[in-house]
Amino acid sequence: MIRMLLKELRMKDFRLYRDQVFRPCDEVTVLYGNNAQGKTCVLEAIQLLSIGRSYRTVRDAELIRTGAQSALIEALATRADGDHRIRMVFPQGERRQLSVNGKACQRSGELMGHMLSVLFSPEDLRMVKDGPAERRRFVDMELSQLKPSYYYALQNYIRTLTQRGNLLRDIAVNPSLADQLDLWDEQAAGAGAAIMEARSGFIRTLAGHAAQAYRDVSDGAEELTVAYKPSVPSESFTEGDLKRSILASLASSRENDIRRGITSHGPHRDDVVLLLNGMDVRAYGSQGQQRTCALAMKLSEMRVMREIAGEWPILMLDDVMSELDPGRRRHLLEHMPGVQTIVTCTDKEDLSGAKAGLLIEVKGGLLSGGAEKRALEQADIPDFLL
């Protein structure tokens, strides 16, 4: 089995951590302790080094320990092609500094792909329960890790969308500016087509794995269908056809866009449909069905990343055991063997049934008990991960 491994993570003046080094084992590492002690900060640092963004804040200033002038996080990850050292520095009041293998990164996209990870947290239930933005975010985060070109296209599209929106509002005051929309429509269509083509392929691959994962969890009681729902109709999902379709949609909605001051068509309006036996999970699914759906999406995400990257990603589970009933917890634990997994929990007993690993107590921003090992129940690797 080819898999990615995090060998070492250093956190200096990051959140609660003054200066700590985290060295997980190759299997299951459990970070346990009371709430607000720094367990989730470790996963946050790993995600930051994987995709350049935190799932807890958009403000870098919040990452710096109180009283410190800057924060530093650095990871050493091993992949099939060798070691990758990723470093991020957050100076107070200044732009963050990134480097990979000692070389400064000029663009944030250069960070992508050096350390792949999948995070499952209680907030992931929002992917099922909330609106399209949460499902787009799920797709965007994973594709950005796998394809830096997607990340750049997304950045370009967001900038273009902002500029087009500003122009639409200016046109409402000064109609003579309307001719300038052609330029922004062309740019939006180009970046948007690249985004939609990538999303279509990713969701098509994800759908089969998600359906199988849901069958495994529910013992085949229901069938999960995952489908891409683009906001722009197109004859095909080739980049050329998509660009023409976006341009046509923007042209047909121009008057309405000017009146409302927003762009009404494009990938920023896409959605991912989640159905159980043909019914919308968001509207008709029970709490248990929605949680199972979120779990299936995360497990399938790992499989897709392995197919595309050729290696299993690092799996992070942030306090999810207490949110799952015993059956779903058991199924999740069965998927841990063979994949490097880092788990946070307040109660170690939530992990009974997992493969042998390493337990580390987290207390007040200190990692202790790193040498303590615990023999947990051995589990066979299920067919889903073979």
**pLDDT tops 80 at residue 67:** yes
CB within 8 A of 221, min separation 6: which ones? none
Confidence band, pLDDT 50/70/90 cuts, at residue 371: very low
pLDDT on residue 373: 40
pLDDT on residue 9: 97
Q: What is the pLDDT of residues 327-363, one digit of tens each?
A: 777 777 766 557 899 999 887 776 666 665 788 999 9
Confidence band, pLDDT 50/70/90 cuts, at residue 71: very high
Instruction: Give 3-state DSSP helix, strand, coil % of the chain, rounded to 5.
Output: 50, 25, 30
Average pLDDT over residues 94-99: 94
pLDDT on residue 55: 83
Confidence band, pLDDT 50/70/90 cuts, at residue 85: very high
pLDDT on residue 37: 92
pLDDT on residue 182: 95
Q: What is the pTM of this model?
A: 0.85
Query: Which string of DSSP letters, residue by residue, matches 221-266?
Result: SS-EEEEEE-SS--S-SSHHHHHHHHHHHHHHTHHHHHHHTS--SS
Average pLDDT over residues 60-86: 95
Alpha helices for 38-147 (secondary structure H): 39-51, 126-129, 132-146
Average pLDDT over residues 369-386: 35
Average pLDDT over residues 257-277: 95
Q: Give dist(CA 22, CA 114) in Å, integer.
A: 19
Q: Give dist(CA 293, CA 274) in Å, integer.
A: 8
Task: Provide the CA 180 distance to its chain's centre, in angstroms.
Answer: 36
Spell out the long-range contacts of 64-70 with Cβ–Cβ below 8 A and sequence spacing 24 or more: 64/13, 64/14, 64/90, 64/92, 65/13, 65/14, 65/15, 65/16, 65/17, 65/18, 68/13, 68/92, 69/13, 70/13
Q: What is the pLDDT of residues 121-179, one digit of tens each?
A: 888 889 999 999 999 999 998 999 888 899 999 999 999 999 999 999 999 999 999 99
pLDDT on residue 386: 29
Confidence band, pLDDT 50/70/90 cuts, at residue 109: confident
Q: What is the pLDDT of residues 168-225, one digit of tens each?
A: 999 999 999 999 999 999 999 999 999 999 999 999 999 999 999 898 888 777 899 9
- The helix or strand, by DSSP H or E, that contains position 276, with its residue range, turns out to be strand 271-276
**pLDDT tops 50 at residue 294:** yes
Domain annotation for the chain: domains and CATH numbers? 1-116+312-386 (3.40.50.300), 122-310 (1.20.1050.90)
Q: What is the pLDDT of residues 233-265, one digit of tens each?
A: 888 889 999 999 999 999 999 999 999 999 999
**pLDDT tops 90 at residue 95:** yes
pLDDT on residue 322: 74
The mean of the pLDDT values for the chain is: 88
pLDDT on residue 356: 54
pLDDT on residue 385: 29
